[in-house]
């Protein structure tokens, strides 16, 4: 027992050591990307709207007249201190923006991931168990077509059918204006806020707003899980231990559920982590389609305003999250599957 825990700790430390250069690299990439753009952030956002002297004064105040090397280390220092700067266009703190709008994105993506895993495993298991039957063909086709559908197209169809024609669900925003203004939101996660406040009406409103965006995003990501789970079921059903279980006279139901399905689901954890980048990309589109006030829609808005500081802050944050998530997934994997640790 003791030996096992040390090896997990060693693995965690090694993995952490590997994450640091990755962070540095990503930050450098972000910095280079944002400095490739013509001009400095101040002139890009405010050029033409201010007299030249005022522009120069502001540039100097923000430190954009210094050398790139100095600016680079300045940037690294700011990030290390958790300071992502102030937006130019509306003078918000980027950190505050990340907390507020990031919570909206977090709520959306978490629920979407649940839906993706749920739909993906269900369809994948059925499809894999009933290989080469019409059910399997339907499952595979669904997986391919859903992956081929752009999120915003599914969103358009959902808004048309469930929003307009059936009039069942709201098509935009996180909650009705009344709820947004009256509800206390200490966490910015509206579901949690409504539960804390014990306001069931608000909870219903929030959930109704969440259904379409989360399902749209979840279904598209779910396509990946369908394929994965199906292939895994096919493989595990051919495994020696499944054959052995059958030979021992274990009931078929038991063989399928306990022996095959359980093992087929292990890689889902890893793939959940791998889908993280896809999930964030999808969130940008979902937010834009459903007017969801998350980080993605803010990013697009700040890009339109040429607010490089806000853009740089948001992508820096995303870069950090990417590294942390990939590290967490590796650690979970090492914990679940001891073979990873010894590799």
Partner 1 sequence: MRTLRRPTHRAAPGAVGRRGAAGLGRLFGPVRDARGMAKWVLWIGLGITVLFIVLAVFAPLVAPYDFDQYRNAEGIRFGKQAPPSAAHLFGTNVLSTDVLSRVIFGSRTALTVVVIAVVFALAVGLPLGLISGYFGHKLDRVLVLVMDALFAFPYLLLAIVIAFLLSETIGRGVMSAAVAIAVVYIPQYFRVVRNHVISVREEPYVEAARALGARPRTIIVRYVLFNVIQTVPVIATLNAADAILTLAALGFLGYGIQPTDAAEWGYDIQRAIADAGSGIWWTGLWPGVAIVLLVTGLTLLGEGLNDVLNPVLRRRRIERVDLPSREARVLEPGGEA
Q: Which residues bind partner 1 (CB under 8 A)?
A: 21-22, 25-26, 29, 33, 36-38, 44, 132, 144-145, 147-150, 152-153, 155-157, 159-160, 163-165, 171, 277-278, 280-282, 284-285, 288-289, 299-300, 303-304, 311, 315, 318-319, 322-323, 326
List C-alpha distances in Å: 162 to 1, 154, 168, 169, 201. Answer: 54, 12, 5, 6, 21
Close Cβ partners of 177 (under 8 Å, ≥ 6 residues apart): none
The answer to whether 209 and 286 are in contact (CB under 8 A) is no
CA distance linking residue 67 with residue 279, whole number of Å: 37
Q: Which is nearer to partner 1, 185 or 305 (CB)?
A: 305
Contact assessment for residue 189 and residue 243, using Cβ atoms and an 8 Å cutoff: no
Least distance in angstroms from the C-beta of 220 to partner 1: 10
Q: How many helices (H) and strands (E) does the chain have?
A: 18, 0
Nearer to partner 1, 120 or 170 (CB): 170
What secondary structure letter does DSSP report for 39? S
Beta-carbon count within 10 A of 202 CB: 23
Residue 55 or 300: which CB sits closer to partner 1?
Answer: 300
Smallest gap from residue 79 Cβ to partner 1 (A): 16
Q: How far is the CB of 61 from partner 1 (least distance, A)?
A: 24
- Structural contact between residues 100 and 188, judged by C-beta atoms closer than 8 angstroms: yes
**Can you give the C-alpha Rg of the chain in angstroms?**
24
Distance of closest approach, residue 173 Cβ to partner 1, in angstroms: 13
What's the min distance (Å) between Cβ of 198 and partner 1? 33
Q: Are the CB atoms for 260 and 233 separated by under 8 Å?
A: yes
Closest to partner 1 by CB, 64 vs 152, is: 152
Strand positions, DSSP E, the chain: none
Q: Of the two residues 13 and 32, which places its CB atom closer to partner 1 in the complex?
A: 32
Residue 101 or 288 having the CB closest to partner 1: 288
Closest contact distance (angstroms) between CB of 331 and partner 1 is: 16
- In angstroms, the CA 237 to CA 258 distance is 11
């Amino acid at each position: 027992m003791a030996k096992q825990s040390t090896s997990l700790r060693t693995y965690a430390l090694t993995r952490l050591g590997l994450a640091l250069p990755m962070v540095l690299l990503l930050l450098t990439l972000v910095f280079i990307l944002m400095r490739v753009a013509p001009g400095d952030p101040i002139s890009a956002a405010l050029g033409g709207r201010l007299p030249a002297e005022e522009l120069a004064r502001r540039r100097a105040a923000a430190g954009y007249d210094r050398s790139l090397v100095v600016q680079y280390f300045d940037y690294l220092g700011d990030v290390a201190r958790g300071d992502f700067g102030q937006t130019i266009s509306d003078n918000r703190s980027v950190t505050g923006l990340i907390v507020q709008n990031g919570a909206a994105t977090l709520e959306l993506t978490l629920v979407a991931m649940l839906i993706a895993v749920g739909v993906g495993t269900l369809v994948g298991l059925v499809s894999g168990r009933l290989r080469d039957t019409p059910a399997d063909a339907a499952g595979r086709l669904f997986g391919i077509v859903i992956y081929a559908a752009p999120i915003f197209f599914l969103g358009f169809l959902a808004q048309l059918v469930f929003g307009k024609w059936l009039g069942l669900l709201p098509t935009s925003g996180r909650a009705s204006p009344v709820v947004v203004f009256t509800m206390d939101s200490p966490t910015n996660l509206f579901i949690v806020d409504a539960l804390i406040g014990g306001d069931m009406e608000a909870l219903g409103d929030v959930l109704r707003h969440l259904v379409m965006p989360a399902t749209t995003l979840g279904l598209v990501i779910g396509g990946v899980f369908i394929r994965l789970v199906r292939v895994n079921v096919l493989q595990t059903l051919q495994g020696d231990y499944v054959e052995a279980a059958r030979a021992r006279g274990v009931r078929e139901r038991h063989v399928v559920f306990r022996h095959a399905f359980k093992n087929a689901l292990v890689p889902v954890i890893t793939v959940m982590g791998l889908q993280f980048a896809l999930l964030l990309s999808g969130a940008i589109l979902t937010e834009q389609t459903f007017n969801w006030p998350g980080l993605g829609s803010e990013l697009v808005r700040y890009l339109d305003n040429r607010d490089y500081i806000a853009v740089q802050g948001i992508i820096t944050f995303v870069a950090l999250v990417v590294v942390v998530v990939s590290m967490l997934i590796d650690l979970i994997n090492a914990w679940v599957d001891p073979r990873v640790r010894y590799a």
